Structure 1
């Protein structure tokens, strides 16, 4: 099998073995149609080897770790069983390691199919294959997605609680060392006795008091050349204190990104540009398609770009992510069309349909991201673009060409933000980060909302 390929199962009970030059731990995840576990008990591994319809077989001698799936015993609310392999040595990675999955008829040992994922790198865990329902039929799909943060990263993505190690409380800084004792200084001479005046001399007449701090020396109210008024003269009227100095002016706010609407047809956005998804005199758009395209590799490994959509609430907290491992969220209001592993073929390579009216009220922002799952940097990818279409008519509304690429594996392409008026505004972002899956894009995306 090749990545993304699927085949029908010809046995009711199948065993998935995963072998590699290094020792592996193989686990199974029971997932619902929403792509989540029902509880932490849906992780089947060496410490919890039995689940409903799924069992773990430990390695013994030449027999490798394996997961066995009895499709007749899998509960009806479980849509797929994901088989995962992680390295036993926490310091090791899959670089230079070629794991192979062998799917057998569990009752006869007959080999049904095999799958060797493409060459891996810094990953320490791997989504190997999934056994899934399609109507009344059971099928198997080759996945081959690696994770750099091990089994814990996979478990978190699919809804299993992972106890993070508690960071030690920062120690209070030690008290600053006491200042060295100062040599006793001579008592200061009284201010009214000049330092050159002997103590026995009578004190000099005191100098007149300094002018009031409220009256600057250059104040026009009392010129410096004006003598003090005679005692018999009436007292001068009190001089009002000057107005307090104005605080330093704040730096000018950056100019707001230009915003246009769709009145004049298709809009070509540049980084920072915004477009309102309305046309004067027409109802606002209710369903849009975000499409991604790129050219396949001319040499070397295939280029596998992945488009994802991350939904946030008003506090910039992630609500859901639509990506190739979870194709629909919010009851289908956001629907991913599926994974393209190479970019081959004309036109768009991946797309995400968004029914804006079907989104829950708490969804305030959608961020569309692209990752290079195969590991190539974006400066190695040719003619990548993102475009927005009217899902009803297929009319292209907005295009954002990914130019000025940088040597990173992730890019935040654009965002859709719900305004107080209810309209949606799309802004091109084009910020590059280092992340190979949507999971690593959540934090940088939240910071750009």
Structure 2
């Protein structure tokens, strides 16, 4: 199969094997029509190998990690099982080790279909294939959707509760958060002394050991949403455009601003939005020479030649529900058409605003400038479940036009 292709399942029980040049951890998630698990019990992996109609088979004796699906035993209400993979080695990516999924008849071992995704890069987890129900029949689809924040990113995307917990030294970082967290060690309380006999507690009670220093949760294991209001991002930080577990926005405005040079000629900065598909191929660009794309689903405010004036210098409005389904990523970039460097620009920022209410929801301020003519400010990525996630990037490149920004923007998706 090729990416995006599908085929009917000719067996009621199938095994999905995923192989690569390096060892992989393979998992399965049972999803409802809403694209979410019903509970954490619908996440089947090495540490929880049995789910309703879905089981995990660990690698052994030359056989790879696999997920077996008995479609006849899948509960009513479950319409899709996604099969995921992540490198077993801590911190490893899929660059150069593109996996192959082999779907077999679980009883006879006959190969039904195979799929190898296109070349991968920084992805640390991958939705390889999905087995889904359509019109009463079961089918398989080649997906190849990558995640840069590990298996925990996939799990939280589909509604699994991911808790921060220090992992054992030999475990991959995505494994420990899935298991229920062990209670933190607490020094046993000193029993109250009998009134007339025991000496003061400090003489006999051993001092409680100092609490271990709290570790900041890894960014990839912490899902930030709009539940608590406005979010300020730092470089590399992400926020889901969900609130209370549901999509919060249908139309957003990305405002970009900067201050002009204090002396000398004005700096003509241009903000653009580049739309990409699942293969990181450019679909279209909204910029000052093309203010509307996708029938107005993305609309540019127009060119500001100097950066003068209060508020956003340029803004780009995105009607998320109006985007074609092939749009998987939007990258917002700013470039210096006049050729001056960003070291001559002050207080560059981008902010995400609710287009309906005008409320600022997310802000990312560039605290440092570099001597380049372009900067990739942020990206909006549609997750496999349909959820949109904004990530602050802030990477400088040498590019004076939106066209020259396409390649670096694609590499940062």
TM-score by length of 1: 0.47
Task: From the superposition, tell whether residues 169 and 58 of structure 1 become closer, same or farther in structure 2 (CA, over 3 Å).
Answer: closer
- Number of aligned positions between the proteins: 254
**Residue in structure 1 matched with residue 126 of structure 2 by the alignment:** 126
Whether 2:355 is the aligned partner of 1:417: answer yes
Structure 1 residue ranges (4+ consecutive) displaced by more than 6 angstroms after TM superposition: 368-371, 386-389, 401-404
Task: From the superposition, tell whether residues 99 and 414 of structure 1 become closer, same or farther in structure 2 (CA, over 3 Å).
Answer: same
Task: From the superposition, tell whether residues 440 and 95 of structure 1 become closer, same or farther in structure 2 (CA, over 3 Å).
Answer: farther
Query: What does the per-residue CA deviation read over 1:289-320, in whole Å, with 9 as the maximum and x for residues that have no partner?
Result: xxxxxxxxxxxxxxxxxxxxx99679347786
SS in 1 for 2:151: helix
1:347-386 alignment runs, 5 A limit: 366=252, 372=276, 381=282, 383-385=284-286
Task: From the superposition, tell whether residues 50 and 402 of structure 1 become closer, same or farther in structure 2 (CA, over 3 Å).
Answer: farther
Unaligned runs of 5+ in 2: 167-211, 216-223, 232-238, 255-272, 304-313, 315-328, 333-349, 365-374, 394-413
Q: CA deviation at 1:163?
A: 1.5
**Residue in structure 2 matched with residue 433 of structure 1 by the alignment:** 378
1:224-303 alignment runs, 5 A limit: none
The answer on whether the counterparts of 1:14 and 1:104 sit within 8 Å (CA) in structure 2 is yes
**Residue in structure 1 matched with residue 54 of structure 2 by the alignment:** 54
Q: CA deviation at 1:382?
A: 7.4
**Residue in structure 1 matched with residue 135 of structure 2 by the alignment:** 135
Task: From the superposition, tell whether residues 169 and 20 of structure 1 become closer, same or farther in structure 2 (CA, over 3 Å).
Answer: closer
The answer on whether the counterparts of 1:103 and 1:113 sit within 8 Å (CA) in structure 2 is yes
Q: CA deviation at 1:400?
A: 3.2
Task: From the superposition, tell whether residues 134 and 61 of structure 1 become closer, same or farther in structure 2 (CA, over 3 Å).
Answer: same
Whether 2:300 is the aligned partner of 1:400: answer yes
Q: CA deviation at 1:155?
A: 0.8
Larger proportion of strand: 2
Cα RMSD of the aligned pairs, angstroms, is 4.4
Distance in 2 (alpha carbons) for counterparts of 1:397 and 1:120: 29
The answer on whether the counterparts of 2:132 and 2:140 sit within 8 Å (CA) in structure 1 is yes
SS in 2 for 1:161: coil
Q: CA deviation at 1:321?
A: 5.6
TM-score by length of 2: 0.51
* Structure with greater Cα Rg: 1
Query: What does the per-residue CA deviation read over 1:171-208, in whole Å, with 9 as the maximum and x for residues that have no partner?
Result: xxxxxxxxxxxxxxxxxxxxxxxxxxxxxxxxxxxxxx
Task: From the superposition, tell whether residues 367 and 71 of structure 1 become closer, same or farther in structure 2 (CA, over 3 Å).
Answer: farther
